[in-house]
Structure 1
Amino acid sequence: MKKAAVLGIGLIGGSLALCLKERTHLEVHGFDASKESLSLAKAAGLIHKGHICLESAVEDADVVFLAVPVGAAPRLLKQLAALPLKRGCIITDVGSTKGEIVRYAESLVNLRGTFIGGHPMAGSHRSGVQAARPLLFENAYYVLTPLPETPLPEVQRLSRLLERATRARLVIMNPEHHDRVVGAISHLPHIVAASLVNQVADYNSSNEWFHRLAAGGFRDLTRVAASHPVMWRDILLSNRESVLELLEDWAREVEAIRSAVKDRDARAIEAFFRKAKESREGLPEGRKGVLPPVYECTVDVPDIPGEIARVAQLLGEKKINLRNIGVMENREDRAGVLRLVFDNEEELKKAVACLRVSGYQVFDPDLD
């Protein structure tokens, strides 16, 4: 392989391009409709060359990455089918649903090259090419979803390239199985979180105390509800069959606990929460998953002038990058009054150690 083309230079595409450029011998070309994104990518050293013309971007490319939203991938794939791609070219994507795009690629008889579905299960709350970083995928799962008839040597070529470039954990999975798993651990939680936020918003329209008291735990529990509406529209429609089955299972789960509460079945209610507690405690720690992690801690500070500035100054002196800071008005079920958010676990650990040495009481359930 000599050339890679990354189509879409945002967070995922930019990070992939940077990984390929820094850790392989490939010449990395980027394609994007935004000239500004291409200029930023070139200036930041993410790509060797940028293109606003698709044909020039993929010319003689050995591997092509479709780093675009789920809703845009089929259209881009159809455009590629009309181009004279290099013989032996591998085409892959980064979408969070696989069944639809794999079936669509299979239907494009004119597509030159081998399509292998891909899903790097890592992300960030930040977006855009400015957020691209080479460690985004490290130790995360990277799922490939080839069809049974996909030549094994092609799957191995792509796997070796991705392992070397991203340092992710490669997994081979059936497209439909992937969609059900990701539907359960990502798509359904987004629906549930949005439903809770919408329900409370309706209550709040007649009583503003719902939103006033909804800080702290409720805000954290439903943080994924702030995701992009158009993106999630396309994701749910592209994973329609799995989502519908999962929603039916969810409805049965809700009905079971509703019946237990209605019947005053204390044993069933306790069993419901006990099962959840044991399952939650059994989840793997320190592993990147499909939902972006939150690196945050809370700190007890006295309510005196200048105390928040002192905390920020202490972190700044240690060159610890603080991404966000907030005062928690509602402390129900949460320790500490000052909420500090960081970009990664390393920054969080340094901050916790720094503040504790300085005499602050810091709460971080994931590190303690």
Structure 2
Amino acid sequence: MKGRVIVIGLGLIGGSLALCIKKEHNEATIVGFDINKEQSRLAKMLGVIDEIAETIEDGAIDANLIIIAAPVNETKEILQMLAKMPLHPDVIITDTGSTKRKIVESTSSLKERGITFIGGHPMAGSHKSGVSAAKEILFENAFYLLTPEEHIETTKVERLRGWLLGTNAKFLTITPENHDYLTGIVSHFPHIIAASIVRQTEKLSEAESLIPRLAAGGFRDITRIASSSPEMWKDILLHNREILIELLNQWQEEMKGVKILLENENSAAIFDYFNQAKHFRDGLPMKEKGAIPAFYDLFVDIPDYPGVISEITGYLAKEKISITNIRILETREDINGVLVISFQTEEDRQRAERCIDTYSSYATSIGS
């Protein structure tokens, strides 16, 4: 497809979308704007975009596609700005935000002018941020939710999907209301629970100094989403407050039921509670990308001597296998040490396991 595309917000998501469009539509011109001028300069230097827009208006007026890859509150402000600009009559505007109903409601001025807005939410992410972390493969096999209003023509939705074909994502079309309900359950609500577990643990640690040390390893893993951006999650929760209040009410009833099981020392019911949870959890798709970015972790036993970590990462670099995170577990006393290496994909994790087994005479993978 030919035309001009402006990506507003050159972070991980915006940058990755720009790369996907460049890959699939090499005749298109990709324009980028970011409030952080350094990000714009870096995006141009890395070849993520073709041109830098000094202002949103400079890049948006002649654009055939406008992608807003910004936090939800900023997205609303940008949409209000766009509604006052002399845009191309056939332009399609989309966003990448985690909530949709309020975003779509804020596009009434665009609708009155006959300008097409189609909400979008690529359900993918990474442990890294910024345009330097952008990748063409970020959205591969991930769900990409589109939330057109009823009046939007099917041809417009198909054109947007055509622009985004290079993502290799799995597109689903749902209503804005259904989007917020589903993402509330599988993304927003778990973030609240993870944060609440960490907050409770922090309070208890004031009276017990060993808690922070014992909370390494697995505790960090099951609560990792609590380290997400507080500013971003403040806005998401307020945008989706009605659904989250309903889910929290249901959660309180769930916890009340568990408390009763404990008070009654109901062994059989407690077993059933965990058994049902295990069966449902084990039945979830293993290779699908969901609402929360997955970790593809490799655990490696390592001896304790200087340079061992750089030695292992050197093996991976030799095979051109990228890692997204690396850390050492400190709670294992029965072995010398456990190195936890995180990867972008399951394929990279498997390649890394084979690589370490091939090059190393001592490092043994112990699972994922």
Is this a same-fold pair by TM over 0.5? yes
Structure 1 residue 197 corresponds to structure 2 residue 198: yes
- Residue 349 of structure 1: aligned partner: 350
Pick from 114, 117, 122: which aligns with 1:115?
117
**Following TM superposition, by how much is the alpha carbon of 1:200 offset from its aligned partner in structure 2, in angstroms?**
0.4
Contact 1:298 1:336 in 2 (8 A): no
Whole-Å Cα distance in 2 between the matches of residues 323 and 139 of structure 1? 19
SS of 2:49's equivalent in the other structure is coil
SS of 1:252's equivalent in the other structure is helix
Whole-Å Cα distance in 2 between the matches of residues 364 and 110 of structure 1? 56
SS of 1:68's equivalent in the other structure is coil
- Residue 147 of structure 2: aligned partner: 145
- Residue 80 of structure 1: aligned partner: 82
For the structure 1 residues 318 and 92, does the alpha-carbon distance in structure 2 shift closer, same or farther, using more than 3 Å as the test? Answer: closer
SS of 1:91's equivalent in the other structure is strand
- Residue 318 of structure 1: aligned partner: 319
**Following TM superposition, by how much is the alpha carbon of 1:354 offset from its aligned partner in structure 2, in angstroms?**
2.1
Larger deviation, residues 167-176 vs 285-294: 285-294
Contact 1:66 1:92 in 2 (8 A): yes
Larger deviation, residues 76-85 vs 5-14: 5-14
Structure 1 residue 364 corresponds to structure 2 residue 363: no
TM-score, scaled to structure 2: 0.93
- Structure 2 residue runs without a partner (length 5+): none
- Residue 62 of structure 1: aligned partner: 64
Render the CA deviation track for 1:61-112: whole Å, top value 9, x for unaligned.
Answer: 1111111111211100000000011112111110011111111113555555
Larger deviation, residues 214-223 vs 283-292: 283-292
Structure 1 residues 124-135: aligned runs within 5 Å: 124-135=126-137
**Following TM superposition, by how much is the alpha carbon of 1:55 offset from its aligned partner in structure 2, in angstroms?**
1.2
Whole-Å Cα distance in 2 between the matches of residues 204 and 194 of structure 1? 15
Question: In structure 2, what residue type is equivalent to 1:40?
Answer: L
Contact 1:67 1:95 in 2 (8 A): yes
Whole-Å Cα distance in 1 between the matches of residues 258 and 304 of structure 2? 42
Whole-Å Cα distance in 2 between the matches of residues 109 and 355 of structure 1? 56
**Following TM superposition, by how much is the alpha carbon of 1:246 offset from its aligned partner in structure 2, in angstroms?**
1.1
- Residue 256 of structure 1: aligned partner: 257
Whole-Å Cα distance in 2 between the matches of residues 256 and 138 of structure 1? 40
Contact 2:17 2:136 in 1 (8 A): yes
Contact 2:328 2:337 in 1 (8 A): no
Pick from 20, 25, 28: which aligns with 1:26?
28
Render the CA deviation track for 1:12-64: whole Å, top value 9, x for unaligned.
Answer: 11111111112113211111122211111111111111112111101221111
Whole-Å Cα distance in 2 between the matches of residues 296 and 324 of structure 1? 9
Structure 1 residues 142-221: aligned runs within 5 Å: 142-162=144-164, 164-221=165-222
Whole-Å Cα distance in 2 between the matches of residues 146 and 109 of structure 1? 12
Whole-Å Cα distance in 1 between the matches of residues 259 and 65 of structure 2? 52
For the structure 1 residues 21 and 268, does the alpha-carbon distance in structure 2 shift closer, same or farther, using more than 3 Å as the test? Answer: same
Sequence identity, in percent? 44
Whole-Å Cα distance in 1 between the matches of residues 310 and 66 of structure 2? 48
Render the CA deviation track for 1:236-269: whole Å, top value 9, x for unaligned.
Answer: 0111111111111111111111111111111221
Contact 1:85 1:112 in 2 (8 A): no
Render the CA deviation track for 1:305-357: whole Å, top value 9, x for unaligned.
Answer: 5544443343344343344332211139x997222223433332122112233
Contact 1:84 1:112 in 2 (8 A): no
Whole-Å Cα distance in 1 between the matches of residues 49 and 304 of structure 2? 49
For the structure 1 residues 324 and 88, does the alpha-carbon distance in structure 2 shift closer, same or farther, using more than 3 Å as the test? Answer: closer
Whole-Å Cα distance in 2 between the matches of residues 65 and 29 of structure 1? 10
Aligned-CA RMSD value? 2.1
Render the CA deviation track for 1:259-294: whole Å, top value 9, x for unaligned.
Answer: 111111112211111111111111111122221111
- Structure 1 residue runs without a partner (length 5+): none
SS of 1:149's equivalent in the other structure is coil
SS of 1:71's equivalent in the other structure is helix
Question: In structure 1, what residue type is equivalent to 2:224?
Answer: R
Contact 2:110 2:117 in 1 (8 A): no
Larger deviation, residues 294-303 vs 83-92: 294-303
SS of 2:106's equivalent in the other structure is helix
**Following TM superposition, by how much is the alpha carbon of 1:301 offset from its aligned partner in structure 2, in angstroms?**
2.4
Larger deviation, residues 286-295 vs 131-140: 286-295
SS of 1:72's equivalent in the other structure is helix
